[in-house]
């Protein structure tokens, strides 16, 4: 029977059955039969042993044969930790010790590898001869850090686990230029190496561009007497808190081709004394779309009167109601250029509003001149195709136009019209039988206001002007608090001309800062409205 279990087809090979046969000679005749122990002793002697375990001295036995330790693997890794010392040896056919059932601590690599498991050292490779020194360039000098050990071959351990003697260290590499050999008689002298180029000149320090200066605090040779910021608040009545007036009012808008900025600021003297602002400002829009009409009205109460701020606010409210109720007709007249109709109609609305103010003074038992106010208004149509601007009012103040960087005072004068009439905006000026020059005389007498008995004392003349704006113009309407320093201090006009001639209109905050630049000797309230034409 063969090893595979089948029947042999040829003569049976009996080597397998004779392997452990006692009568079969193996290596020659022996005095005693060859046993399994004899064969084990022979195999142990071949691998380094000299006898059989347990044999006495009469049997020629010597020390126990050394059996190689088992290979380290999963069985050894799972063994329980052993005490330090040589590991007990076991034969390959001996069963492994029982594995522990509890937690197992894996021994360190040094414990698992006994002294007999020390791997043989690799063969020693002689180090290569040191290379001749090469003059390093700047890149090599920078690549080796200062104080680093010289680079060279690593010493390998010898057969006995000891490293061979290290080769002598290479001489340090010079870091400077190579030495110049002495000149010989046969060779021409070597020119010296070129000198290093001079260092580049230092770059100039970056200078941040200086931004345009901000608004100025004041103009003129001397600062104003009063402080720039408010000092005292006006006295308040707990039963009439609606009578309080804010220190500053700021507003603005953009319609069509124009941008509007309006402001009213309490004067330095009123801020110092705790008096209310006597100027009043009203900005309103009536109508929608291209039929809309913008009204900017400003009034100034009489000086040194208790209710001056109330009179100014009432004048603005009365004229606002009158214009708002007639805004549709006013827009038609402005578009059609009916200058005469505009003047007569606005004159009537102004007289009626001031007449109601006088009637209110009579009801309060106050003299009419004490409860009065100057009034200045500006009408701006929202239609972008219409560039006609209408000014009308009564009392002191100013009307200016900034064109090409220069201020033009276009305030209508009493009994005199400055400038030529605009084509298509009414008839040329004519004279009345009394010799007064009017913009237009329609021959229609103006009836007296029903709120006053008769025009006894002469009152402020009515001022009216229409103008066609050009792109880049700036129209300024202001009360006497700003008109007077503009006419009396040229430096203020130059400053505002430079600030307001820029391509973009100023914002609300910038317009407020510009309008309250102070001038010594002018401490009244300031109210102004400016229109920038795109």
CATH number at residue 495: 3.60.40.10
The tokens for 408 are 């033009």
Residue 56 maps to a domain: no
Nearest C-alpha neighbor of 500 from the set 476, 467, 526, 465: 476
* Rounded-to-10 torsion of CA 512, 513, 515, 516: 110
The answer to whether the CB of 533 falls within 8 A of the CB of 470 is yes
C-alpha triplet 99, 100, 106: angle, nearest 5°: 90
DSSP state of 287: S
Residue 479 within any structural domain of the chain: yes
Q: What is the pLDDT of residue 93?
A: 67
pLDDT the model gives residue 122: 60
| Token pair of 478 as six digits | 């202001």
Whether residue 6 is contained in a domain is answered as no
| pLDDT score of 440 | 44
* Number of domains, the chain: 1
Q: Give the Cα separation of 189 and 183 in Å (integer).
A: 6
In a domain, 493, yes or no: yes
Q: Report if residue 29 sits inside a domain.
A: no
Residue 190: its pLDDT value, please? 59
What's the pLDDT score for residue 441? 43
User: Helices in 168-307 by DSSP H: which ranges?
Assistant: 268-273
Running DSSP on this structure, what letter comes out for residue 254?
Answer: E
All residue ranges of the chain with pLDDT < 50 are: 1, 20, 51-63, 73-80, 109-112, 114, 134-150, 152-162, 204-212, 416-444, 454-455, 457
pLDDT given for residue 217 in this prediction: 72
**What would you report as the CA-atom Rg of the chain, rounded to the nearest whole angstrom?**
59
Count of alpha carbons within 13 angstroms of residue 489, beta-carbon side = 20
Picking from 268, 265, 361, 269, the residue whose alpha carbon sits closest to that of residue 315 is: 361
| Whole-angstrom distance, CA of residue 415 vs CA of residue 115 | 130
To the question of pTM greater than 0.75 for the whole model, the response is no
Query: Is residue 526 domain-resident?
Result: yes
- Residue 427 in any domain: the answer is yes
Q: Examine residue 498 and state whether it is found in any structural domain, yes or no.
A: yes
Q: For residue 272, give its domain range.
A: 248-446+460-533
Half-sphere exposure of 144 (CA within 13 A, CB side): 14
């Amino acid at each position: 029977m063969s090893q595979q279990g089948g029947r042999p087809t040829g003569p049976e090979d009996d080597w397998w059955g004779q392997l452990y046969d006692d009568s079969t000679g193996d290596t020659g005749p022996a005095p005693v039969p060859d046993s399994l122990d004899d064969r084990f002793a022979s195999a142990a002697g071949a691998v380094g042993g000299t006898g059989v375990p347990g044999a006495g001295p009469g049997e020629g036995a010597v020390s126990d044969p050394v059996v190689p330790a088992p290979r380290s693997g999963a069985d050894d890794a799972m063994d329980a930790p052993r005490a330090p010392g040589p590991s007990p040896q076991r034969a390959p056919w001996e069963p492994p010790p029982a594995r522990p059932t509890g937690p197992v601590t894996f021994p360190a690599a040094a414990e698992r590898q006994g002294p007999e498991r020390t791997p043989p050292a690799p063969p020693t490779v002689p180090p290569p001869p040191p290379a001749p020194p090469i003059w390093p360039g700047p890149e090599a000098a920078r690549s080796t850090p200062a104080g680093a050990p010289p680079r060279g071959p690593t010493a390998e351990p010898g057969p006995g686990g000891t490293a061979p003697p290290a080769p002598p260290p290479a001489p340090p590499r010079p870091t400077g230029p190579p030495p110049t050999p002495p000149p010989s008689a046969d060779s021409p002298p070597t020119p010296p190496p070129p000198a290093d180029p001079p260092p580049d000149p230092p770059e100039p320090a970056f200078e941040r561009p200086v931004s345009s200066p901000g608004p100025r605090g004041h103009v003129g040779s001397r600062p104003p007497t009063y402080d720039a910021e408010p000092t005292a608040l006006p006295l308040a009545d707990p039963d009439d808190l609606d009578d309080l007036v804010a220190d500053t009012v700021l507003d603005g808008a953009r319609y069509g081709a124009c941008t509007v900025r309006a402001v009213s600021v309490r004067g330095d003297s009123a801020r110092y004394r705790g008096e209310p602002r006597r100027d009043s400002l009203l900005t309103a829009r009536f109508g929608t779309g291209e039929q809309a009409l913008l009204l900017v009205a400003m009034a100034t109460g009489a000086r040194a009167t208790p209710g001056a701020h109330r009179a100014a606010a009432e004048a603005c409210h009365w004229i606002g109601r009158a214009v708002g109720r007639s805004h549709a007709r006013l827009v038609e007249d402005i578009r059609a250029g009916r200058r005469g109709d505009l003047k007569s109609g606005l004159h009537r609305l102004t007289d009626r509003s001031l007449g109601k103010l006088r009637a209110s003074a009579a009801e309060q038992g106050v003299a009419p001149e004490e409860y009065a106010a100057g009034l200045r208004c500006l009408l701006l149509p929202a239609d972008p195709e219409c560039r006609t601007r209408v000014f009308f009012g009564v009392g002191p103040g100013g009307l200016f136009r900034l064109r090409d960087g220069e201020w033009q005072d276009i305030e209508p004068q009493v009994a005199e019209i400055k400038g030529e009439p605009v084509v298509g905006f009414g008839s040329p000026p004519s004279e009345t039988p009394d010799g007064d020059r009017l913009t237009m005389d329609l021959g229609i007498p103006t009836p007296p206001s029903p709120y006053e008995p008769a025009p006894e004392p002469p009152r402020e003349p009515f001022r009216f002007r229409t103008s066609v704006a050009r792109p880049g113009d700036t129209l300024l309407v202001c009360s006497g608090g700003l008109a007077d320093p503009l006419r009396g201090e040229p430096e203020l006009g130059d400053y505002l001309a430079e600030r307001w001639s820029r391509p973009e209109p100023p914002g609300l905050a910038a317009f407020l800062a510009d309008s309250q630049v102070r001038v010594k000797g002018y401490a009244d309230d300031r109210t102004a409205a400016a229109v920038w034409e795109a």
